[in-house]
Amino acid sequence: MENLKIAIGDGFLESFAQIPKAKQRKVMEFVAKFRYNPMANGINYEKINDARDVNFRSVRIDQDYRGIVLKPAQGNVYILLWVDKHDDAYDWARSHRCDIHPQTGALQLVEILQGNQPEIEPVKIETQAAQENRLFDLSDETLLSLGVPSDDLARIQSLTHVEALEAIEKSLPIEAFEALYLLAAGTLLDEILTDYAAKKSTMVDTEDFAEALNQDASRRRFYVVADEMELLEMLEAPLEKWRVFLHPSQRRLINRHWSGPVRVLGGAGTGKTVVAMHRAKWLAAQAAETNERILFTTFTSNLAVDIQESLRKICTAQELRRIDVQHIDAWIVDFLKQQEYDFRIAYPNGKDSEYEKCWSLAEGLISPNLGLSTSFYREEWERVILPQFVRSRQAYLTTSRMGRGVPLTRKQRADIWPVFEEMRIQLTQRKLTTIEDAAFDIMSMLDSGANNKRYRSIVVDEGQDFGPEMLTLLRRLIPEGPDDLFIVGDGHQRIYQRKAVLGKCGINIRGRGKKLKINYRTTEEIRRFSTQVLEGIAVDDMDDAQDTLTDYRSLMHGDFPEIKHFNSISEEAKWIREKIEVLIENGLLSQDICLVARTNHLVDEYGSQLQQMGIETRKLSRQQSDNRNLPGIRLATMHRVKGLEFKVVLMAGINEGVVPLKISTETQDPTEARLRDENERALFHVAATRAIKGLFISSHGIVSPYLAK
Ligand SMILES: Nc1ncnc2c1ncn2[C@@H]1O[C@H](COP(=O)(O)OP(=O)(O)OP(=O)(O)O)[C@@H](O)[C@H]1O
């Protein structure tokens, strides 16, 4: 059919997810027929009496259920909006309308306020005091550019508090509400205008729905379906809205050419991984003709597994074949294997403890006369020697020690060097090396022409945890140029004590540093609580400037996190059990609840207490991703839950000495102590921001200083 456009609204998927499985099957049968030919015999479009929107029609799914479709008089456009029981579907249709905004050209779906509307303040501003109280001192033109419908201008201009704005949320187009909400929360007007305002256009045809569907602002709620398979796939996972409904700020980063490396910041849950995945898909589609490959790399192995799984949901088979998803260590190991490299990588505190054996032998060379603590040597090794590939005494004498608290003279450097040299000797004798040295060895191999893996582009998730050696390696792996590197990350979530400055790794992001600001995962109450722990801490933007969380918000609301202290772990575990039972009684699945603790030991302890009380648990392993089809309360360390999300998170054992972990923060160097404390705070922040709608925090004994007010 000529110019046929079939679209689906996000509300259709949400309402579809709510109906019984048997009815969902009927809807799928209907949708298949509808997608093939919306004018087919048997699809009857019924007018809806009293509907305020003349373009709404109902369609029959079966005896009980109806779909609501937007079917404008002009053009060949059909938009699936809602599905529900007959009467509920009609009620929905009567209480909504869908218009094209005359200035922005966006398609907007809003609820029609009726009955008990929040009190609207008088439009006419009579006194100066009243005028000063106004929430938004904005002209009609500015409000229109943000997508506020013309009927709502006076109402918005008269609002005096944010609760009144929240009360009319559903009656405002999503983009207008979001811009106003962020403004009310303190975001600067200039920033809002840059991110949200549409340029004034005199060309908008408010009857041209086909054109309206092309607007970025429309595409966060309406998606034009390419084929029947795609539509059915969307119905298979109706709540995975990230697959198609991208925020304009996300879309702007994805579907375009960039002249060089891009760095995307964003607080927890702002959709960085979603953006990185869509970017990889777009890049893979661009590479169709050249058959070039994309590397998608992460810091943790679990995330790489999850990303591979999620990419399957948005990529074609061809696109998927062009993307290598691998966490960076695995990539390094693979590369070295192909080069027949003779060394195995040993990790600190690794399973075989070889690394620690080598270190204790190296420590044997520490001279007590120098007056430096043993922890100082280890910190120097990890923070200075390894990341900068310092291989000789001579090089060490002139190496930058920026960020280290204890200054060293040249003589002291010369005196302590043998310890590091010995560490390398011990490792080499066992045919071992560190991941950092391995990365630098690959760079030497690349310099001598070994590159069996040529990539068109590299996409990096968890960028904040990549050390300088890894970022330098990625830079060397791909020639500088358009669409070379796309790095997402968040310094507030740096939990592995690795820190790099992109510019110093040869990655120049000038003019291509971007930020995501809307948290899609967590309620505003949980977001606020989770960021408190980082207050007053200067966090970098992965380059040479600072990042901030002041412009990071959630539009969802829920309960405040609950915090409870106990005398003993058994009392605490009992309380946790009661919480779990109530949550499950209220319809939550056990696999949507995760208990998080700081150490493996504590995780196991809570696990056995819960099991003794008859609660099924499942500990998340380091090697495997979580299969959410299996029941059981999830148990995990704070490190393991990075990148994941659960409807409810129970943070247990938030005690003094545990959070922050005493042995992790013990050092005699005050600068190092500060860095480690920041790291522990980031870990707490990461764990708390995994919660979608419920966060419960408990402790036993003396409470953690992070909770004590
Ligand atoms: N455009 C979108 N529409 C709907 N949901 C979205 C969108 N973007 C992201 N989300 C959802 O928000 C949640 C967080 O997304 P994602 O994991 O990509 O964020 P993140 O910034 O990488 O988080 P973190 O840094 O905390 O791991 C996920 O549930 C994701 O599906």
pLDDT score of 199: 74
Q: Are residues 178 and 42 in the same domain?
A: no
Q: How far is the CA of 531 from the centre of ligand 1 (A)?
A: 17
Is 273 assigned to a binding site?
yes
pLDDT score of 159: 94
Is 491 assigned to a binding site?
no
Closest listed residue to residue 297, CA positions, set 459, 75, 514, 156: 459
Q: Are residues 671 and 583 in the same domain?
A: yes
pLDDT in tens, 94-106: 999 999 999 999 9
Which residue's CA is the closest to the ligand 1 atom numbered 12? 520
Q: What is the CA radius of gyration of the chain?
A: 28
pLDDT score of 625: 81
pLDDT in tens, 342-363: 899 999 986 778 999 999 999 9
555 Ramachandran zone, left/alpha/beta (phi>0; psi -120 to 50): alpha
Q: Is residue 438 assigned to a domain?
A: no
Tally of CB atoms within 10 A around 512 = 16
pLDDT score of 115: 60
Q: Are residues 11 and 130 in the same domain?
A: no
* Burial class of 537 by CB neighbour count within 10 A (0 to 12, 13 to 18, 19+): middle
Alpha-carbon torsion (134, 138, 141, 144), positive or negative: negative
Is 269 assigned to a binding site?
yes
Structural domain containing residue 127: 122-197
Q: Is residue 39 assigned to a domain?
A: yes
270 lines ligand 1 (CB under 6 A): yes
DSSP-derived pairing of the beta strands 646-651 and 633-637: unpaired
Q: Is residue 361 assigned to a domain?
A: yes
Which residue's CA is the closest to the ligand 1 atom numbered 8? 271
268 lines ligand 1 (CB under 6 A): yes
Q: Is residue 451 assigned to a domain?
A: no
Confidence of residue 116 (pLDDT cuts 50, 70, 90): low
278 lines ligand 1 (CB under 6 A): no
Q: Are residues 642 and 514 in the same domain?
A: no
Q: How far is the CA of 245 from the centre of ligand 1 (A)?
A: 12
689 lines ligand 1 (CB under 6 A): yes
271 lines ligand 1 (CB under 6 A): yes
- Cβ atoms of 32 and 228 within 8 Å: the answer is yes
Q: Are residues 272 and 135 in the same domain?
A: no
Q: How far is the CA of 519 from the centre of ligand 1 (A)?
A: 7
Q: Is residue 25 assigned to a domain?
A: yes
Domain count, the chain: 5
Report the pLDDT averaged over residues 463-467: 96
Give residue for tokens 């409810």: 648
What are residue 99's phi and psi, to 5 degrees? -130, 160
pLDDT for residue 452 is more than 70? no
269 lines ligand 1 (CB under 6 A): yes
Beta strands in 467-523 (DSSP E): 485-489, 513-516, 518-519
Beta-ladder partners of 294 = 323, 457
Helix, strand, coil: what percent of the chain each, to 5? 40, 15, 40
pLDDT score of 67: 96
Which positions ≥6 away from 278 have C-beta within 8 Å?
246, 250, 254, 314
178 lines ligand 1 (CB under 6 A): no
- Please tell me the pTM assigned to this model: 0.92
238 lines ligand 1 (CB under 6 A): no
Q: Could you give the C-alpha distances from 427 to 69, 367, 475, 534, in angstroms and in order?
A: 68, 21, 27, 38
**How far is Cα of residue 315 from the mean position of the Cα atoms in its chain?**
19
CA angle centred on 83, ends 77 and 87, rounded to 5°? 120
Compute, in degrees rounded to 10, the torsion defined by CA atoms 682, 548, 329, 403. -80
Which residue's CA is the closest to the ligand 1 atom numbered 5? 242
Q: In ligand 1, which atom is closest to the CA atom of 520?
A: 12
* Three-state DSSP string of 587-647: CCCHHHEEEEECCHHHHHHHHHHHHHCCCCEEECCCCCCCCCCCCCEEEEECCCCCCCCEE
Q: Is residue 445 assigned to a domain?
A: no
Which residue's CA is the closest to the ligand 1 atom numbered 7? 242
Q: Are residues 465 and 526 in the same domain?
A: yes
pLDDT for residue 123 is more than 50? no
pLDDT for residue 410 is more than 70? yes
DSSP string, 422-467: HHHHHHHHTTEE-HHHHHHHHHHHHHTT--S--EEEEEESSGGG--
The helix (run of H) or strand (run of E) holding residue 129 is helix 128-132
Looking at 547, 572, 604, the residue that finishes a domain is 547
- Residue 248, SS3 per DSSP: helix
Which positions ≥6 away from 612 have C-beta within 8 Å?
none
DSSP-derived pairing of the beta strands 107-111 and 96-100: antiparallel
267 lines ligand 1 (CB under 6 A): no
222 lines ligand 1 (CB under 6 A): no
DSSP-derived pairing of the beta strands 293-298 and 323-327: parallel
Q: How far apart are CA 434 and CA 631, in angstroms?
A: 39
490 lines ligand 1 (CB under 6 A): yes
pLDDT for residue 622 is more than 60? yes
Q: In ligand 1, which atom is closest to the CA atom of 270?
A: 21
520 lines ligand 1 (CB under 6 A): yes
Confidence of residue 539 (pLDDT cuts 50, 70, 90): very high
pLDDT in tens, 262-279: 999 999 999 999 999 999
Q: Is residue 501 assigned to a domain?
A: yes
Report the pLDDT averaged over residues 150-165: 92
What ipTM, to 2 d.p.? 0.99
Closest listed residue to residue 363, CA positions, set 434, 421, 409, 410: 421
Beta-ladder partners of 515 = 265
302 lines ligand 1 (CB under 6 A): no
Ligand 1 pocket mutation, candidates 178, 222, 241, 242, criterion most atoms within 8 A of CB: 242
Q: How far apart are CA 616 and CA 634, in angstroms?
A: 9
- Cβ atoms of 493 and 682 within 8 Å: the answer is yes
Q: Are residues 218 and 74 in the same domain?
A: yes
- Residue 25, SS3 per DSSP: helix
Looking at 547, 575, 608, the residue that finishes a domain is 547
Which residue's CA is the closest to the ligand 1 atom numbered 3? 242
- Cβ atoms of 602 and 562 within 8 Å: the answer is no
Is 564 assigned to a binding site?
no
Q: Are residues 507 and 616 in the same domain?
A: no
- The CATH number given to whatever domain includes residue 686 is 3.40.50.300
- The CATH number given to whatever domain includes residue 13 is 3.30.2310.20
250 lines ligand 1 (CB under 6 A): yes
Helix orientation angle between 569-585 and 600-612, rounded to the nearest 10 degrees = 60
Q: What does the block give as tokens for 80?
A: 């699936």
Is 271 assigned to a binding site?
yes
Which residue's CA is the closest to the ligand 1 atom numbered 31? 242
Least confident of 112-116, 412-416, 420-424: 112-116
Q: How far is the CA of 59 from the centre of ligand 1 (A)?
A: 33
Q: Are residues 584 and 678 in the same domain?
A: yes
pLDDT score of 453: 63
Least confident of 349-363, 381-395, 576-590: 349-363
Q: How far is the CA of 275 from the centre of ligand 1 (A)?
A: 8
Q: Is residue 192 assigned to a domain?
A: yes
Q: Are residues 564 and 469 in the same domain?
A: no
Q: Are residues 181 and 222 in the same domain?
A: no
pLDDT in tens, 18-64: 999 999 999 999 998 898 889 888 888 999 988 999 999 999 999 99
Alpha-carbon torsion (535, 541, 544, 546), positive or negative: negative
Q: Are residues 333 and 468 in the same domain?
A: yes
